[in-house]
Amino acid sequence: VELTESHSADECRSALAASDIFMGLNVDEARGVSYPLLLALGYGKPCLFSSSPPCADLPSDCGLSIRPGFTESSEVAFALETLCGSQD
């Protein structure tokens, strides 16, 4: 499911409630931390996000951050497996 700022709060909440992990790799530095990421953090969902600003300032216990441009599918898969393993 792709969540964007154009989705309503109720749509974001419903999608997050049904999810196991939140992955937010698209960052718009001018807009700050995305609303869907903030909601996911609030729900206590394991999160994968870019380590570029503004997410670079999030505490490490908020989730797993990966360097900007981290697009190699095997690397993203490894990061997701790491998050899934942290739920055990």
pLDDT per residue rounded down to tens, the chain (88 residues): 677 778 888 888 898 888 888 888 776 666 778 888 888 888 888 888 888 788 888 888 888 888 776 666 777 888 888 888 865 5
Contact 34, 5 (CB under 8 A): yes
Output phi, psi for 14, to 5 deg: -60, -45
What pLDDT does 72 receive? Answer: 65
Contact 49, 61 (CB under 8 A): no
pLDDT attached to residue 71: 61
Q: What share of the chain is helix, strand, coil (3-state, %, to 5)?
A: 40, 10, 45
Tell me if 25 sits within 8 A of 54, measured CB to CB: no
- Beta strands 47-50 and 64-66, pairing class: parallel
